[in-house]
Amino acid sequence: MTVIYDRVALIGLGLIAGSMAHAMRAGGLAGEIVGYARSAETRAVARDLFCDRVCDTAAEAVQGADLVVLAVPVGAMEAIAIEIAPHLKPGAVVTDVGSVKQAVVEAVAPHIPAAVQFIPGHPLAGTEYSGPRSGFATLFQNRWWLLTPLEGTDPAALARLRSLLDAMGANVDEMDVARHDLVLAVVSHTPHLIAYTMVGVADHMRRVSEQEVVKYSASGFRDFTRIAASDPTMWRDVFLTNKDAVLDILGRFTEELFVLQRAIRMGDGDHLHAYFTRTRAIRRGIIEAGQDTAAPDFGRGVDPAKGTAGE
């Protein structure tokens, strides 16, 4: 039980902020946890469940805070940064948890005073649930937490933030901002878009085939529905702000899809078999690297590297 920051301010009190607060409380990592959310109802729930104190404005919440965490949708970051900037304590650290980094850096960094360090971050951990009741202390256990420090970041401030994330159970890594957005477009953003699309197709089908799609949905589709139940505001902002990287990956995805489509049409079993053998090896590589719990799980719940994947 070592206090790492005397006062932590959480701006936005949903899944991620709530999980951070639970984890900090469980580990005794913060002297005081102060929170701000737009709605009085969210503030009241957060006060009951995980905040020591809540404030009616973000400006008030950050006063005297040693660490400020921006945990709102990516599109809301700039307005918050503008509001809190004049009230930040010199020497404080501001971090964020947004799923996209370039857009957040552009929206937030220009407003942060020189006496305050801004260290952007992103936990690769989440669920399809949102809001102040959805958080839990173990969300970040053995999950990646990527930091994308900017030029001139104070090494001591970075080390302190890393020690907090570490104490919450996360595996911390540092990455360049642009690389982060490209990698996340591959492992998280585009897969989410594909899930949204597939569930949309099934919804359309349901109108044709009545209840069968829901009744007989096997686990591949059920995983898609879980992902497609994620917060619409958050994901709208992800796609609007990581536009270039997602469009790049989506272009590659459609090219591959057309090749597979043609192989099916032509009855080219050899092509399909070779392709699926290659993708199975990628899954095996993830398991062997011990990363199966630290990466977003878009899998079918059955491990093809260990047994039969059929159902």
Ligand X SMILES: O=C(O)C(=O)Cc1ccc(O)cc1
Per CB under 6 A, residues contacting ligand NAI are: 12-17, 37-38, 42, 71-74, 76, 97-99, 122-123, 126-127, 130-131, 231, 234
Supply the minimum distance, in Å, between the C-beta of residue 99 and ligand X.
Answer: 3
Q: Which does 227 bind (CB under 5 to 8 A by kind): ligand X, ligand NAI, none?
A: ligand X
Which amino acid would we find at residue 106?
E
297 CB burial (10 A radius; 0-12, 13-18, 19+): exposed
**74 binding partner (options ligand X, ligand NAI, none; Cβ < 5 to 8 Å by kind):** ligand NAI
Please report, to the nearest 10 degrees, the dihedral formed by the alpha carbons of residues 107, 111, 113, 117 taken in order: -10
For residue 32, the minimal CB distance to ligand NAI (Å) is 19
Least Å from the CB of residue 240 to ligand X: 15
Choose the one of ligand NAI, ligand X, none that binds residue 23, judging by a C-beta under 5 to 8 angstroms depending on kind: none
User: 133: closest CA among 9, 31, 22?
Assistant: 22
Nearest Cα to 103, choosing from 75, 124, 81, 128? 75
Minimal distance in Å, beta carbon 134 to ligand NAI? 6
Q: How far is the CB of 269 from ligand NAI (least distance, A)?
A: 38
84 binds, options ligand X, ligand NAI, none, Cβ within 5 to 8 A by partner type: none
297 contact, one of ligand NAI, ligand X, none, CB 5-8 Å limit per kind:
ligand X
Q: Which is nearer to ligand X, 127 or 134 (CB)?
A: 127
Please say which residue, 34 or 125, places its beta carbon nearer to ligand X. 125
Instruction: Report what 73 binds from ligand NAI, ligand X, none; CB cut-off 5-8 Å by kind.
Output: ligand NAI
Q: How far is the CB of 184 from ligand X (least distance, A)?
A: 7
User: Given its phi and psi angles, is residue 226 left (phi above 0), alpha (psi -120 to 50 degrees) or beta?
Assistant: alpha
Nearer to ligand X by Cβ, of 82 and 295: the residue is 295
CB-nearer residue toward ligand NAI: 33 or 97: 97
Describe the strand order of the beta sheet including 30-36 as a list of residue ranges.
53-55, 30-36, 5-11, 67-70, 93-96, 117-119
Report the alpha-carbon distance of residue 188 to residue 78 in Å, rounded. Answer: 23
By a kind-dependent CB cut-off of 5 to 8 A, residue 72 interacts, out of ligand X, ligand NAI, none, with ligand NAI
Under the rule (CB under 6 A), what is the footprint of ligand X?
Answer: 99, 124-128, 188, 227, 296-297
Task: Output 59 or 175, the one with its CB closest to ligand X.
Answer: 175
- Residue pointed to by tokens 């256990």: 141
